[in-house]
Structure formats: C-alpha cells, structure tokens
Amino acid sequence: MAQKNELNGAELMDLFTAAIDNAMHLMEAAQELVASKNAPQYTSLGLGELALEELGKSYTCLAYYSNRRQLDWKLFWKEWRNHELKAHRAFFYEFFCLLRAEVQADDRNDYFPSYREKIPLEKEATFYVDIDRESRKIHLPIKEITTKECYYRLASLIGPMNAALKVKRLIETNKEDVYITAFSDYAFSTLTTSMYQQDVLTVLAAMKTGDETYDRALNDIAVLFTPQKQ
C-alpha cells in the first residue's frame, strides 16, 4: 500500500496535465495584463514567473512517472517546493521541441534567463513592496518593473509552453502506459545525464527497445524535436 507522501501513476499524470493547464491560464492572464492600458501591467511579470514554475512542476511529474516505484519521495517533495528549480526546469521542455522566442535587449545582464539574480525574485518584485535597509529605498513594483521585462518573461514562455502542450496532446491521444513510460524515461534522462540538444536524436535511437508502442513514442518525440527532418 502506497504511503501518503507517494503518488501513483494516475495522480502524477493528473498533476502533469493540471500544471500545464494552469500555466496556460496564468500566461494568458499575464498577456492580457501587459497589453492593457488600464490594468496594472507590472503584475504580468509575476504571473509569467508563476507560469514558468507550473511548467517546471509538470516536467517533474512526467520525468518521475516511470521511476515512481523506486523514487525518493522526499526528494520529489523537496523539488516540488523549490521555486528556483521549478522555474529552471521548465526550460527542459526544449529537449522536446526547439521552438523558442527571445527578446533582443542591449541591457541584458549576467542573470540570464532573467533580469534578476534568481527567477523567483521576479515574483517577489511583482507582488511585494519592500525596503532596502541600507539605502532606505522603497521598492514599488508599479514604478520599478518595466514593460520590457514583462514582455521578455512572456516571450521566454512561448517555447516551453508550446512543447508542453504538444507533449500533453500526444500523451492524451496515446494513453497506453508503455507510451507514457517512453516519454517519462526520456524526460528523466534529460534530468539525470549530461545531455545537450545535439545529442537528442542519438539518445532517442539508443533508447529503442523493440517494443512497438515504446519505440513509436520515441519516434513521436523525434518528430516533435525535428519536424522538418522527419
């Protein structure tokens, strides 16, 4: 019998789907806000960062699906609460699809992929007034978050969101456990090995087992990653 801190396969997939759906809702809300002339545009930055974290959570659920019976669940829940890890993990969807959008900006700093030292600080800067106790300067989100920063975060969401939605659609269309397991094994390998995007097709080819459903899933990932070459 599963312990209360463990999730079964169906629960992980339900969380995977729900996190992607919520990320999409947050992104849409952020887009509406930044384009509005009446609403507080700066709040779109924090909503976009939250969307990024939700995508990261969905990737975690997908990656751990096939390893759930051997999983260190303490690690899972630690990662589930780690805002910085979740935000960065969203970009692992680029191992499924190369589509991305970036804003060209001359004022970029060393904190890529954010304007701030850590991505979750975007959320804090958006929703909280604060004070620097040394300079005595008060941080006012409405004055200090630029529209450019908001648009940059939204642009950075396009690639991961596109990939997540396509992965979700493939899994919903092919609900066999073996098919989902192949997607999960691949996602897990991106987290646990020193993979680069140029290695993707080689890794997918090496993962094939001879099982028709498993290999079909890997072929679907290859098509998603390089549609023009298939």
Q: One digit per residue, pLDDT tens: the chain, 230 residues?
A: 457 789 999 999 999 999 999 999 999 999 999 998 888 899 999 999 999 999 999 999 999 999 999 999 999 999 999 999 999 999 999 999 987 766 666 665 555 677 787 899 999 999 999 998 989 999 999 998 999 899 999 999 999 999 999 999 999 999 899 999 999 999 999 999 999 999 999 999 999 999 999 999 999 999 999 876 54
Q: How far is CA 53 from CA 39, 112, 193, 213, in A?
A: 24, 16, 22, 31
User: Residue 103 has what pLDDT?
Assistant: 60
User: Of 175, 185, 182, 230, nearest to 210 (Cα)?
Assistant: 182
**ω into 141 cis (within 30 of 0):** no
User: Residue 219 has what pLDDT?
Assistant: 97
Residue 205 tokens, joined = 């080819």
By CB atoms closer than 10 A (0-12, 13-18, 19+), residue 45 is: buried
User: Residue 1 has what pLDDT?
Assistant: 44
Strand partners, 131: 138
By CB atoms closer than 10 A (0-12, 13-18, 19+), residue 196 is: exposed
Residue 188 tokens, joined = 């897990």
User: Residue 22 has what pLDDT?
Assistant: 98
User: Of 117, 55, 112, 108, nearest to 86 (Cα)?
Assistant: 55
User: Residue 3 has what pLDDT?
Assistant: 72
User: Residue type at 73?
Assistant: W
Residues whose CB is less than 8 angstroms from the CB of residue 104 and which lie 6 or more positions away in sequence, other chains included: none
By CB atoms closer than 10 A (0-12, 13-18, 19+), residue 98 is: middle
DSSP 8-state class, residue 95: G
- Where do the H-state alpha helices sit in the chain? 9-35, 43-64, 73-80, 83-89, 121-127, 141-144, 147-173, 177-192, 200-207, 212-225
Distance of CA 86 to the CA centre of its chain: 7
